[in-house]
Structure 1
Amino acid sequence: MTKSVIRFSLLFTLLTFIDVSISASNVFNVVSFGAKPDGVTDSTGAFLKAWQGACVSASSATVVVPKGTFLLKVITFGGPCKSKITFQVAGTVIAPEDYRTFGNSGFWILFNKVNRFSLVGGTFDARANGFWSCRKSGQNCPPGVRSISFNSAKDVIISGVKSMNSQVTHMTLNGCTNVVVRNVKLVAPGNSPNTDGFHVQHSTGVTFTGSTVQTGDDCVAIGPGTRNLLITKLACGPGHGVSIGSLAKELKEDGVENVTVSSSVFTGSQNGVRIKSWARPSNGFVRTVFFQDLVMKNVENPIIIDQNYCPTHEGCPNEYSGVKISQVTYKNIQGTSATQEAMKLVCSKSSPCTGITLQDIKLTYNKGTPATSFCFNAVGKSLGVIQPTSCLNR
């Protein structure tokens, strides 16, 4: 062996050792900080210590949650951190069964101001049965908590996560930028109250792809201030479909713009694709929306705009929604409706919907009679075959 080969071999061995040493020093296993995978011991403090170590790391770090079941109470993983962090979960994280321990926190697990962050794998079970029972009984209950929340986060990847039995929303993105959510599964019983799947608001550049949502409320709820949102390859049902809104809760409200929902399947859901606003004054808007290449399977309201939303009959009777809806395209939507009125576009009397496009729609009624459509103050055009017959004003 030549001297140059020996020198190269020694250098390679040294570099490999250094790389392994650095990698090992940047892995923060929660068990090493005192977490117990027994599903009984409170591991909140240990998770925080592991996070704090990763957060101050000068180079990329990984927080590891190994196999086992870990009990977590209300917890905030705060940033910004010095370097990229991967939160790798192989086990199951569970919440306390007593819903009263959450108080009025509003969240269970919160990632706040994290940048260049990845949440990978794991099952998160909020064990909300007691909370749901309280809600259904009409008792004076806490407001409930969101299972996994991201506030003011940037450049985030969420992959392979399963969330079960959320008290209210499974996963919330608020004030976030550049987020990819892929191959995530959100599961709660169809009769669980207000258990939204994904909720996104005041966020830009969010993609949901390849996810399954089976829950008791909206599969995806899109709130004010959402821009450049892509939802693709979603399997929704049971649930209330994909909803833009409710909007017009406030007079001054950010609009929703550039939303695409494509290549998705809705099965047995209350709605397919919905735009919903309160019958109240508002300076909000919804524009440049594409609903395309969708399959409806026994969906109650496959295509719906409702600008007369006023479920409590308080603060909105005899009012009209100020939300301006424009440039909404429905293209290649096919399948079956569980109700005869498969397409319902009810727009505001004071702010009619404009620029609505229906193209290649084929929705049939399950009972063997033709499906129908209903429009109110909706203006646009129809292209290709439209079934049921288009009701748009030109």
Structure 2
Amino acid sequence: MAFPRSTCLLLLLASFLLTPLEGHTFNVMDYGAIGNGRTDDSEAFMKAWSDVCKASASPTFLVPGDRRFLINPVVFEGRCRSKKIKFKVDGTITAPSEPSKWKCINKQCHSWISFKHVDGLVISGSGTIDGNAEKWWKQGRVTGARPNALVVARSNNVQLHDLSFKDNPHMHVVFHHCDGVKISHISIDAPEDSPNTDGIHLKETASVIIEHCTIGTGDDCISLVDGSTHIDMRHIKCGPGHGISIGSLGKFGLSETVEYIHVKDAQFTGTTNGVRIKTWQGGRGHARNMIFEKIRSSDSEYPIIIDQFYCDHTECHDKPNAVEIRNISYIDVKGTSKKETAVKIACSDTVPCRDIFIQNINLIYDQSGKQASAYCKNVINGYYHGVVRPNISCLQNDKLP
């Protein structure tokens, strides 16, 4: 039986009205946010998120430009209805300047802005995440954990691009237990003496691209710890900071792994390290299958470093176990080092490094033009090819054409 045209129109209108807003923008200002940098806008953010998470198709959470939004620790929880959610920050999100004024969840200040179980999340915008952390740094570790700024947990197919991060109390960007992440065109800035302010930190996270990022902090520009696998980093500018670090791994005797890492086109300026692998004595597991290529160093202390004796305090005892380091390649590494020993490969007596390959490196000590030196210990199946300066005594010429 055919419906009259008027009935069809009514049914179509009813269908439209009953369908949740698709592709709609949810502006935090419409939920009571003030955006003056003084009033706590956390509640408005959470109300907006509640509606975003219920929307059915590609909603946008909007933090508008030309305003400063003060928020306390918040957790944006999934699982949401839409397969794609845009979180767009065009203004500035800032934190309370006084640590005592932070309204921490369950009195635990482990994170500031968190996303959990939000698949298809796209975080972007022309704005800034400003942790306002100077007083956190001054009080050091006295009050316990300092909060990480942006934490994305147990979420898949996530993108983060174009945002700026600055002066956060602890790590700036953290991904853990995620699969399928792309981070691009972000900048991270914190003073050289700010403690433990890693730029990007990955744990238990797979299939990641990090590209076209500029990072300067008081700790690692990028750090990869246990469970990081299939990570591709390219076009990275790092400095100041501690370089790109694999680890630390194996602390407290734990078994930890990082593997399938590729770094290409990375520039280090005034850093303590360039590309570093660091493991604790007594640990287990492995760091393997890594390629570092087209690395440029300007006045970095150690452009290349493998350290199986890592210790961040004064008393560390010798232990027989070690995290295995295997199948590591360094290709086309050039520039200057701040220390005369530009290459340090310090491997365990009991679990030596294996299958280390170096091709075409040229590192000069400081700006004087003097040739740098290298330290190398306990490498099995170590080879070099092409022009390698400084000479690395524990490697053999592979004699390839």
Q: What TM-score, normalized by structure 1, do the two folds share? A: 0.91
Aligned to 1:129: 134
Distance 2:255 2:212 in 1: 30
Does residue 383 of structure 2 align to residue 381 of structure 1?
yes
CA deviation map 1:244-299 (0-9, x unaligned): 0110114343311100111111000000000001122x221011000001110011
Distance 1:321 1:296 in 2: 33
Kindly indicate whether the alpha-carbon contact (under 8 Å) linking 2:250 and 2:256 is maintained by their aligned counterparts in 1.
Answer: no
Amino acid at match of 1:323: V
Which 5+ residue runs of structure 1 have no aligned equivalent? Answer: 1-10
C-alpha separation in 2, matches of 1:165 and 1:254: 30
1:70 and 2:74 matched: no
CA contact (8 A) 1:209 1:233 kept: yes
Q: Report whether the alignment pairs 1:31 with 2:29.
A: yes
**1:74-89 mapped onto 2 (5 Å cutoff):** 74-83=73-82, 84-89=84-89
Q: In structure 1, what is the equivalent of residue 122 of structure 2?
A: 118
Runs of 4+ in 1 over 4 A off after TM superposition: 21-25
Cα distance, 1:80 vs. partner?
1.5
Q: Which residue of 2 aligns with 1:318?
A: 318
Matches within 5 A, 1:1-394: 26-67=24-65, 68-83=67-82, 84-100=84-100, 101=102, 102=104, 103-121=107-125, 122-135=127-140, 140-280=142-282, 282-314=283-315, 316-366=316-366, 367-379=368-380, 380-394=382-396
Matches of 2:36 and 2:22 in 1, distance apart? 25
Q: Share of identical aligned residues, percent?
A: 35
Task: Compute the displacement of 1:370 (Å).
Answer: 1.8
Amino acid at match of 2:373: T
CA RMSD of aligned residues (A): 1.9
> Offset of 1:322 from its aligned partner?
1.4
How far apart are the structure 2 equivalents of 1:85 and 1:168? 26
* Aligned AA (1:291): F
Q: Secondary structure at the match of 1:309?
A: coil
Q: Please tell me whether the aligned partners of residues 23 and 58 of structure 2 are also in contact (alpha carbons under 8 angstroms).
A: no
Q: 1:354 to 1:196 in 2, by over 3 A?
A: same
Alpha-carbon shift at residue 392 of structure 1 (Å) = 2.4
Q: Which moved more, 1:245-254 or 1:58-67?
A: 245-254
Query: Deviation per CA, 1:159-209, whole angstroms, max 9, x where unpaired?
Result: 111111011100001111100000010100011111111110100001110
In the alignment, the residues of structure 2 paired with residue 25 and residue 200 of structure 1 have an alpha-carbon distance, to the nearest angstrom, of 31
**Does the 8 Å CA contact 1:104/1:144 hold for their aligned counterparts?**
no
Whether the aligned pair in 2 keeps the contact of 1:248 and 1:321 (CA below 8 Å) is no
Residues 1:250 and 1:391: Cα distance change in structure 2 (over 3 Å)? same
Aligned residues: 374
- Unaligned segments of structure 2, at least 5 residues: 1-8, 397-401
TM-score norm. by structure 2 comes to: 0.90
